[in-house]
Amino acid sequence: MAAITSPNWLSALPDGTQMGPLPASVSQRYTDLYHKFGDGWRITDATSLFDYAPGTSTSSFTVPTWPPQNGDCTLPRVTPAQPASLEVAERACRPVKGNNAHSDCVFDVMVTGNTGFATTYVAGGQVIAGGGTTGGTTNPPSTGKLAVFLDLGAGIPQGTFSNAFNTGFSFNAGLEYLFNSYASIEGIFGYHHFPAKMSGNVDVYQFSTNAKIYLATPQHQFRPFINGGIGDYTFNPGGSKFGANVGAGILYQLTSRFGLQASYNFHNVNTPVNATRFSTLQGGIRFLF
């Protein structure tokens, strides 16, 4: 808690007095550490940051004889902890997930004999994981507001559009702005290539704005979402038409910032005679700033 300068074996006292080298006598070490050093740094009524009930003070919570120099290191009128067996600790800590958390729980229960430690570990895991008991292995959520994403997959013609074109390549890239843990808005550039069944392939360029709703908080690794929006769909050959899309997907957060996502969207474009309909099935990456 403070710098220890050579040749001292402890940090200095509040008045700057140095404690000097480690005494050769064990008895002198005890006196220096628990009386001279301990009492030197002990808080007083004037320095304590706590409030005390009438008739009490810092001395009410001080046991000057502890720890004893010889004999059992026990507090007056307090029953020492009785260790538990490994079997008892394992049984109590069975609900605790995560290798580290489970091992720590078993150790604490064995040393203290208090099976209530298992309840504390389970509750702590639920707070960290947002409802699970991962033992602290889940990364904490990031507070970033912007994310970029890149998705690749297939464009699948629907309705009358499927009579003339085959399933082709589909690509989406965009920028996402998060309003909060659940809602965001996306700017999307999409490229969808559809090979012709007879002749004349067609390319569709998508420029749209989508709203997205996440169905789970960032504390969860798996975050299902729904999305939809409107925008311009430019056909080559052809021209620009107004269109809309709606879909759903899931985001898998590998870290607090980097994740994998998969989605399905249905597109309806207002083209003459018959609306052009197709769907996209894509997977990709997402990075939160």
Q: Point out which residues pair with 176 in neighbouring strands.
A: 147, 186
CA distances from 82 to 8, 79, 111, 268 (A): 37, 9, 8, 71
Domain endpoint, select from 91, 109, 138: 138
> Are 68 and 87 members of one domain?
no
Domain tally, the chain: 3
Mean pLDDT, the chain, integer: 90
In this structure, what CATH number is given to the domain that contains residue 159?
2.40.160.20
Domain endpoint, select from 78, 103, 122: 78
> Are 17 and 38 members of one domain?
yes
3-state SS assignment for residue 97: coil
> Are 258 and 181 members of one domain?
yes
> Are 73 and 181 members of one domain?
no
> Are 73 and 89 members of one domain?
no
> Are 85 and 101 members of one domain?
yes
> Are 45 and 161 members of one domain?
no
Q: Is the pLDDT of residue 134 over 50?
A: no
pLDDT band at 129 (very low <50, low <70, confident <90, very high): low
Q: Is the pLDDT of residue 132 over 60?
A: no
Q: Name which residue leads in pLDDT, 198 or 177.
A: 177
The per-residue pLDDT for range 202-221, each reduced to its tens digit, is: 999 999 999 999 999 887 88
Per the structure block, which two tokens stand in for 174?
A: 């965009």
Q: How far apart are the first and last CA of the chain?
A: 36
> Are 93 and 71 members of one domain?
no
Average pLDDT value for residue range 94-107: 90
> Are 67 and 117 members of one domain?
no
Other beta carbons within 10 Å of 214: 20
Contact 4, 11 (CB under 8 A): yes
pLDDT band at 81 (very low <50, low <70, confident <90, very high): confident
CA distances from 188 to 39, 96, 117, 230 (A): 67, 42, 50, 10
The listed range with the strongest mean pLDDT (10-19, 64-73, 139-148) is 10-19
The domain in which residue 28 lies consists of: 1-78
Residue 170: per-residue pLDDT: 98
